[in-house]
Chains A and B, each alone.
Chain A
Amino acid sequence: MKQLEEVFKKQQESRELEKSGDGQQDTAFIKFYLNDSPCITPIQSVKEILEYRSITPYPLDSNCHRGIINLRGNIIPIYNDDFTREDYKKRIIIFEPIANLLFGIVGSNVKRVFISEETYNSQNCHNGDVITFENTPFKYFSGQDQMTAEERLK
């Protein structure tokens, strides 16, 4: 619940910044690592960010699908797990592409960043596309399109 409140707070802050003169050109994003690969996703598409918890694996190996977690009585499929970056704290990022149909991915080193709209708009913003920010290429991850997100995680 606390994490959910934090995300809402961040979303609110992001909206306020967008409205104000200073932040008018900036959009809030979540930056994270997926198996050593830096990724970025718009904060609006994130439903909740959770502390890492153990994932119940599927009885059979299933491509990018790792398992399920229980989130306040809801069963949520988790699409990947980050096995590489044990030095960073792992988080579960929950997306809600369709109402009441959630899925999660495991990322590490999760941080909030602001990118200017100019930078954001000038580059491709589809799943898997690269956005250069602070001289680092980030892979754009959109949780809004579950199909391409799944493809992206394979």
Chain B
Amino acid sequence: MSRQKRLKHFANMILRESSVVDNSHSMEQDMDNEFIKDFYEEAQDILQNIYEMLGKYLESSDKVEALNSIARGVHTIKGSCIMFGMTQLNKVSHDLESYMGTLKPYANEIIQEQVTYILRVVDKMSELLANGDKGSIDDLPLAPKLAAISEPVEKIVEKTIIEEEAVTQEENNIVSIKNWKNDKESSTASGSGNGNGNGATAVQALTEVIRVPVERVNQALDNIWEIFLIRNQLAYLFGQNSTWLNQHPEFVRSWEFLDSSLETNITELESKTMRMRMASLKSIYQRLSQTLRDYSDRYKKPIKLHLIGEEIELDKKIIDILYEPLIHLLRNACDHGIEEGEERASKNKPLEGNIYLSAKIIGNEVIIEIKDDGQGIDPQKLLKKAKEKGLDVSRIQTEKEAIDIIFLAGFSTATEVSEISGRGVGMDAVRTSIQKMGGTIKVDTNVGSGSVFTLTLPLSMSVVSALVMRVNGQVFASTTNPIIETKIINYSDLNRNGDDLYYMQRNNYIKCIDLKNDIFIQSIDRKSLVKKDDGAICLIEHNGQEIALLVDCIEEYYSLVIKPIPSNAPKIPFVLGVSILATGEPIFIISLTKLCEFVLGKKVQEVGVYHEAA
């Protein structure tokens, strides 16, 4: 928060207290809300930086400066939070600042124990910040002593607290002013005191950064996509007038040059604006580390989390949704994957379990892997459990299909429901979230040596590569990621066995779903329907097995902008969004895996075999 804004807020606070202005004035409330919002954003940024600095502290070459930077961040939060009456956060940050003050002369002797303690306190600060200062602060551990300090740290902290300001409600305003002064001093110190000129650069860099609400970036993106669609429509119109164009080659050349230049500029503008909405995985990684620390402490199960690719940036929309599925997978790895100490020792595994969370970008997709060195998933155990739950497992033939049982709704192998997992809602929810983002999830496992969950996600949820198909005379689009292969076929290539249809490929019978029986049935124009002998097959992977989807024809590949379905339109489980074609016609974007689930689920329900999973 800028110093000017704070002064304004402080002036308002004083005025309110002296009843000069009406407290119910809405403009003032709006201003306060703005201040609170600013404070929250600033504090979150500071905490994120502190986490980052603490993560690298022990490897840091300049530990004194690193400790000072952390202390400065804590100090800023301490100073600002009291203005919003957050006394608990003020106390915790004050105590931490004092503790760090005692460590300052011994910055190079700090070991993991002190870093962990500081992390705990910072976790508490995050918690208080997120909960509006609500929550207990009595559960914080005792500050660890430093071997180099002769006097016990607790005593020093206690003494410092007494010596420093005693924060009372009456003194809040004075504290605030004092903090502003300290802020100024510390910023001056950081600007000139370190002697390497980094401070000046940092100040310069700060002035070059502005905060822009995500909503404004989204509005700009909406406009860009609108231009993108208009350009597509212009290109379509151009193609429609080929006879006239053939007679005007000069015009065509100029048009093509301008069109290509327009396309390049739109793409560049879109990518630059998208980057404004990109966020790194760092924030998610930090929250996951915090969860793992809590789990390890609570269940006395030593687990190390290895984080790779925290610098990778994704669309903020994806980052916001991704945390929940990742936390589910991490908790499952801790609870079901990593064995207890004795079991690990009996298997000659190190006592400390390992979970590797890695992210990498391949093409326009991000691949996220959560790998553990635990016990793996036993397909036989899963099949047994599925039978006990009354699920129809007669069609499961391979180990992979058996392992995919974990993705069924309500399925859990846990005999007891713990605070962490075992309710059977996790993996189904994880897959649904991933599919909503237009991604896929798969699992590879080795009994005894661990499991790997691989998430494949688009880099952006807004522009997708899509395949446009036609069923019952209507076009729809699908994201290309679940599609393995497409092929034009003759209906005589298909084999029928009772009600089931199969497509034969390389001596394998692949289950085939004729989509004309399932979608756009109500819109069939019987008069214009011409019976054709050929169609197209779209081969996809679903739950570890290949499925062939039969459509009328496959039209074209497009880059489509996904728009959300209007909130007053009906919700269809397999529809991801809507887009607009070059013709100006709206088109539904469908998740083929969800569509398969819907069709297969419907069929199983029809024959009355499906007992529980749905």
Using a CB–CB cutoff of 8 Å, the interface residues on chain A facing chain B are 54, 56-63, 65, 67-70, 73, 75-77, 101-103, 146
The verdict on B569 contacting chain A, using a C-beta distance below 8 Å, is: yes
Sampled A-B contacts (7; CB under 8 Å)? A56-B588, A58-B569, A59-B519, A65-B570, A77-B568, A77-B569, A101-B566
- In the complex, chain B residues whose CB is within 8 Å of the CB of A65: 569-570
**Chain A binding surface SS class:** strand
Residues of chain A contacted by B521 (CB below 8 angstroms) = 61
Contact indicator per residue, chain B 558-585, by CB within 8 Å of chain A (1) or not (0): 0000010111111010110010100011
B230: nearest chain-A partner, CB-CB: A73
Are B586 and A57 within 8 A (Cβ)?
Answer: no
- B40 interface contact, C-beta 8 A: no
CB-based contact B580/A70 at 8 Å: yes
Cβ of B527 to closest chain A Cβ, rounded Å = 13
Give Cα A65–Cα B574 distance, bound, in whole angstroms.
17
- Tell me, in angstroms, the Cα distance from A68 to B581 when the chains sit together: 13
Would you call B586 and A70 a contact (CB within 8 A)? yes
| Interface presence of B590 (CB below 8 A) | yes
Contact B575 A73 (CB under 8 A): no
Residues in A with CB closer than 8 Å to B590 are 59
A143 to chain B, nearest CB (A): 12
**With A56-B586, A58-B588, A59-B572 as contacts: A68 and B578 at CB distance below 8 Å:** yes
B24 at the interface (CB under 8 A from A): no
Interface-central residue, A54, A58, A61, A103, by most chain B CB under 10 Å: A58
- Bound together, the chains give a CA A60 to CA B602 distance in angstroms of 13
For residue A59, which residues in chain B have a CB less than 8 angstroms away from its CB?
474, 476, 519-520, 572, 574-575, 588, 590
Most B-side CB within 10 Å, residue of A54, A73, A101, A103: A73
B229 in the interface, Cβ–Cβ < 8 Å?
A: yes
From known contacts A61-B521, A73-B226, A75-B565, infer whether A56 and B570 are also in contact, taking CB-CB under 8 Å: no
Q: A58-B588, A62-B572 are in contact. Are A77 and B566 (CB under 8 A)?
A: yes
Which residue of A has the minimal Cβ distance to B475? A56
In the complex, whether B587 has a CB less than 8 A from a CB of chain A is yes
Verify if B522 is at the interface (C-beta below 8 Å from A): yes
**Assembly CA distance A101 to B569 (angstroms):** 10
Partner of A75, one of B476, B570, B578: B578
**Given A68-B586, A70-B584, A75-B578, CB of A58 within 8 Å of CB of B568:** no
From 528 to 584 in chain B, residues with beta carbon under 8 angstroms from any chain A beta carbon are 563, 565-570, 572, 574-575, 578, 580, 584
Complex: A101 Cα to B565 Cα, angstroms = 11
4 more contacts with CB within 8 A, not counting A57-B522, A59-B519, are A56-B587, A56-B588, A67-B523, A75-B563
Which residues of chain A come closer than 8 Å to B229, judged between CB atoms? 73
Chain B window 587-602, contacts with chain A (Cβ cutoff 8 Å), 1 for yes, 0 for no: 1101000000000000
When A and B form their complex, which 5 residue pairs have the shortest distance between CB atoms, in order from nearest? A57-B523, A77-B569, A62-B570, A59-B519, A61-B522
Chain B residues contacting A63 (CB-CB under 8 Å) are: 570
**Residue among B567, B570, B584 making CB contact with A58, cutoff 8 Å:** B570
Interface of B is mostly: loop
Chain B residues with CB under 8 A of A54: 585
Chain A residue numbers with a CB within 8 Å of B520 are 57, 59
Minimum CB–CB distance for B88 against chain A, Å = 40
Pairwise interchain contact A60-B580, C-beta atoms closer than 8 A: no
Contacts of A69 in B (CB 8 A): 586
Check A103–B572 contact: CB distance below 8 A. Answer: no
Bound-complex Cα distance A140 to B604 (A): 45
CB pair A60–B568 under 8 Å, yes or no, is no
Residue of B nearest to A101 (CB): B568
Contacts of A102 in B (CB 8 A): 566
Chain A min CB distance to B566 (Å): 6
CA distance A119 to B569 in the complex (A): 35
Nearest chain B CB to A130's CB is how many angstroms away?
26
Q: Which of B483-529 contact A (CB under 8 A)?
A: 519-523
If the complex has contacts A57-B520, A59-B476, A61-B522, are A75 and B586 also in contact, measured as CB distance less than 8 A? yes
Name the one of A58, A70, A73, A77 contacting B585, with C-beta atoms under 8 angstroms. A70
B440 to chain A, nearest CB (A): 21
Question: Nearest Cβ distance between residue A30 and chain B, in whole angstroms?
Answer: 21
Q: Cβ of B572: which chain A residues have Cβ within 8 Å of it?
A: 58-60, 62
A51, B496: Cα distance in complex, Å:
46
A103 to B520, CA, bound (A): 21
Q: Taking CB as reference atom, which chain B residue is nearest A100? A: B566
- Report the minimum CB–CB distance from B478 to chain A (whole Å): 11
A50 to B574, CA, bound (A): 30
Tell me the residues in window 143-196 of chain B with beta carbons closer than 8 Å to chain A beta carbons: none
Q: Chain B's nearest CB lies how many Å from the CB of A51?
A: 14
- B476 touching A146, Cβ below 8 Å: no
Nearest CB of B to A94, in Å: 12
Complex: A68 Cα to B563 Cα, angstroms: 13
Find the B residue at minimum CB distance from A76: B566
A68–B569 contact, CB under 8 A? yes
Measured between beta carbons, the chain A residues less than 8 angstroms from B580 are 70, 73, 75
Query: Complex formed: what's the CA distance from A70 to B586 in Å?
Result: 6
Residue of B nearest to A97 (CB): B568
Neighbouring A residues of B565 by C-beta, 8 Å: 75
Residue from A57, A61, A62, A65 with most neighbouring chain B CB atoms (10 Å)? A57
Q: How long is the Cα–Cα vector from A76 to B563 in the complex, in angstroms?
A: 12
**Bound complex: CA A102 to CA B569 (Å):** 10
A54 to B586 alpha-carbon distance, docked (Å): 10
**Whose C-beta in chain B lies nearest to the C-beta of A78?**
B569
A103 and B563 contact, CB distance less than 8 A = no
Using Cβ atoms and an 8 Å threshold, which residues of chain B touch A70?
A: 580, 584-586
Q: How far is the CA of A59 from the CA of B476 in the complex (A)?
A: 9
Question: How distant is the Cα of A135 from the Cα of B26 in the complex, in angstroms?
Answer: 52
Taking the closest CB of chain A, its distance from the CB of B519, in whole angstroms, is 4
Cα distance, A65 to B572, chains bound together (Å)? 12
Contacts of A62 in B (CB 8 A): 570, 572
Q: Tell me the complex Cα distance, A70–B585, Å.
A: 7
A76 to B566, CA, bound (A): 7
B558 to chain A, nearest CB (A): 15
Measured between C-beta atoms, what is the minimum distance from A37 to chain B in Å? 21
Closest chain-A Cβ to B235's Cβ sits at a distance in Å of 17
CB distance from A99 to the nearest CB of B (A): 13
Residues from chain B with a CB closer than 8 A to the CB of A146 are: 568
**Distance between Cα atoms of A59 and B580 in the complex (Å):** 16
| A residues less than 8 Å from B568 (CB atoms) | 77, 101, 103, 146
Rounded to whole Å, the gap between the CB of B577 and the closest CB of chain A is 9
| Chain A residues positioned under 8 Å from B585 (CB to CB) | 54, 56, 70
A62-B572, A68-B586, A70-B580 known; A57-B566 Cβ under 8 A: no
Chain B residue with Cβ nearest A150: B568
